[in-house]
Homo-oligomer: A and B are copies of this chain.
Amino acid sequence: MFESAELGHRIPREVYRRREPALRAELLEAQRELKAQARFPVLIVIGGVDGAGKGETVNLLNAWMDPRHIRTHAFPAPSDEERERPRMWRYWRVLPPRGTLGILFGAWHTDPIVERAARTLDGAGFERRIEEVLRFEQMLVDEGVLLLKYWFHLSRRDQKARLEALSANRLTRWRVTREDWARFEQYDRFRKVSGEFLRRTSTAGAPWQVVEGLDPAYRSLTVGESLLAALRDRLSRPDPVAPARGPVPVRSIDRRNLLDALRLRQPLGREDYAVELERWQGRLARLSRDARLRRHAVVAVFEGHDAAGKGGAIRRATAALDARQYAVVPVAAPTEEERAQPYLWRFWRHVPRRGRFTLFDRSWYGRVLVERVEGLCAESDWRRAYSEINDFEAELAAHGVVVVKVWLAIGRDEQLVRFRERERVPFKNHKITPEDWRNRRRWSAYADAVCDMVDRTSTDLAPWTLVEADNKLYARVKVLRTLCERIESAIAAG
């Protein structure tokens, strides 16, 4: 991995001086075009050994480019707001919007490498982290992010010399910390681990570019020219139309599916309902105050046919919770700031801190439901969404978040009755729109989408619960019961 970066690359100072002004002008011009097109963001990830000029390069890029459209983020010890959320949250929150550049000084690669080098992470754990990084970066690339990863390298001898030189100068001494020296003692181990990590996470869409850090002129020009070339290449190409991957699924030959197999009208009378409602709300209320829940959080997803009673089910759940503890997030059209980000960004921003609940009224599953059926996104987008969603929920679960997903299922006839009632009753009138009627006409296309969704995203960590909802009372109780049981098993597991 590092062979070519230990050759002692250098360029003459005057070559640098001659090229630099033009390079800056061209970078500025490319950056202006990036802003004007606003089609994609650029994410520059900086890693490497200490003393190889990471910081200097970041400063240089900031000085060369228009500072108004570039943001640099470093990742020191996480804040408490970050610690209380899944690992990737702190990276999601700083992703650059389209048309801008983000520089990450250290990123998701840092901890796995450092921990593995220090042997606080075992081989299997390292494998899982590599896998996580690969999937995350693939998602970024699929979302159109121009992801550039630079690794600054020094040979063992050069690193030592450079750390000593920095330490000897009063103005640069602060850059060298005790940890830097401690890590240098581990040079060979670090080289081996980072080499392995770089090799494994260099993909066609986002390869690592290893830059020898010895000579400032060489490394600056290398990064500058590489950034310029990548920007120009991408700016000159139209948005890629990614091919839909995988075979077209065949619908089940006998037309039986998951939804048809449900008995949608389940018995439960008013009186029994009152008893059951109180019982499960009481249980949820006690669970929500259970001290063990402070190590967890709850993300509940409410999906279902139009008029299936999502809102009513949500209200029965929140009535059992302390209002300081939950947020209901209605998912409608994304805002402008959300549209400038990868698809899942707008859900990541609502991930709850420990001890809290977020209830999503509709969710990230919109992509594989309405967006798929109505053709609102490219086929390749909704096809890759299944695995992205599974990754997202796995990250939540890994952090102790209880992910509860319910599908409220009603029959076509029951829906018609409810639509008619909404049209008839004045204060329900606003709940029925032409869109509802349109969706209804595509009943079977939606059924296919729902069944695919359940098949592909019902996992042990985050299973789907199908709720028979022709009888609203039964559905509300089943939703409450599902919430309670999932939370109970999570806090029992610790």
**Residues of A near any B CB (own CB < 8 A):** 25, 28-29, 32, 55, 58-59, 61-63, 66-74, 79-81, 103, 105, 171, 174, 282, 285, 289, 311, 314-315, 318-319, 321-324, 326-330, 335-337, 359, 361, 427, 430
Contact = CB atoms under 8 A, between A and B. Distances in A.
A63 B319 CA distance: 6
A14 B310 CA distance: 30
Contacts of A361: 67-68
Q: Which of A67, A171, A324, A430 gathers the greatest number of chain B CB atoms within 10 Å?
A: A67
A314 to B, nearest CB: 6
Given A55-B324, A59-B319, A67-B315, 17 more contacts: A25-B427, A28-B427, A29-B427, A55-B323, A58-B323, A59-B321, A67-B311, A67-B328, A67-B359, A68-B311, A68-B361, A72-B327, A74-B324, A81-B81, A171-B282, A335-B335, A337-B337
Q: Which of A58, A174, A359, A427 gathers the greatest number of chain B CB atoms within 10 Å?
A: A427
5 contacts: A59-B323, A62-B318, A63-B318, A68-B329, A68-B330
A359 to B, nearest CB: 8
A72 B427 CA distance: 25
A102 to B, nearest CB: 11
A258 to B, nearest CB: 28
B67 A314 contact: yes
Contacts of A319: 59, 62-63
Nearest to A28: B427
Nearest to A314: B67
A59 B315 contact: no
Q: Which of A66, A103, A314, A329 gathers the greatest number of chain B CB atoms within 10 Å?
A: A66
Nearest to A75: B324
Contacts of A55: 322-324
Nearest to A61: B323
B25 A69 contact: no
Q: Could you say how many copies of this chain the assembly holds? A: 2
A174 B323 CA distance: 15
A74 B81 CA distance: 15
A99 to B, nearest CB: 12
Contact of A323 (B105, B171, B336): B105
Q: Which of A55, A105, A322, A335 gathers the greatest number of chain B CB atoms within 10 Å?
A: A322
A159 B349 CA distance: 40
A79 B85 CA distance: 13
Contacts of A328: 67-68, 70
Contacts of A311: 66-68
A72 B323 contact: yes
B323 A430 contact: no
A32 B335 CA distance: 19
A87 to B, nearest CB: 18
Nearest to A46: B323
Contacts of A171: 282, 285
A98 to B, nearest CB: 12
Q: Which of A68, A71, A81 gathers the greatest number of chain B CB atoms within 10 Å?
A: A68
A323 B79 CA distance: 19
Q: Which of A61, A72, A321, A324 gathers the greatest number of chain B CB atoms within 10 Å?
A: A324
Nearest to A317: B67
A427 to B, nearest CB: 5
B59 A322 contact: yes
Nearest to A35: B430
A318 B430 contact: no
A395 B310 CA distance: 43
A282 B319 CA distance: 60
A103 B66 contact: no
Contacts of A322: 55, 59
Nearest to A310: B68
Contacts of A66: 311
A53 to B, nearest CB: 13
Contacts of A62: 318-319, 323
A63 B62 CA distance: 50
Contacts of A321: 59
Contact of A71 (B81, B327, B337): B327
A217 to B, nearest CB: 17
A318 B79 contact: no
Contacts of A63: 315, 318-319
A321 B329 CA distance: 40
A96 to B, nearest CB: 12
A24 to B, nearest CB: 10
A433 to B, nearest CB: 13
